[in-house]
Amino acid sequence: MSDEQIQQIEVALEDAQKALFKMEALKRLVANDDFKVVIDKGYFEEEASNLVISLGNPVYSKEQVEKTEQLIRGISCLSSYFGAINYSGTQADKAIRDLEETKQELLQEGEI
């Protein structure tokens, strides 16, 4: 057993636990009724819909269209960020199990 290997596993476990904690925090957040009203319904649905509809406004200047497109991209970026948190957390959950197993194997090898 190498102390360096164990140390590397410990660092990887710490990083994975942070990602898992962040995913769990997001799950609690999205389950919150206020989040559903303000973000899910208000931002992702209503605001996005209003912005897309407003793009068809014939009196919009080029600058207004560009600003509206930026706002739409902002909604997409937040949604992507939430997706990335979920993906990272899911991967971290698996990694934690694998790292713990590897750590136990290394510790058992060191006892022999």
Q: Is the pTM of this model over 0.85?
A: no
Identify the pLDDT of residue 112. Answer: 47
- Domains contained in the chain, number: 1
Q: In 69-82, which positions are buried (b, 16+ CB within 10 angstroms) versus exposed (e)?
A: eeebeebeeeeeeb
**Closest by Cα among 25, 17, 27 to 92:** 17
| pLDDT 10s digits, 41-97 | 999 999 999 999 999 999 999 999 999 999 999 999 999 999 999 999 999 999 999
Domain of residue 84, residue span? 3-111
Give the pLDDT confidence score for residue 111 in this predicted structure.
67
- How many whole angstroms from its chain centre is CA 91? 11
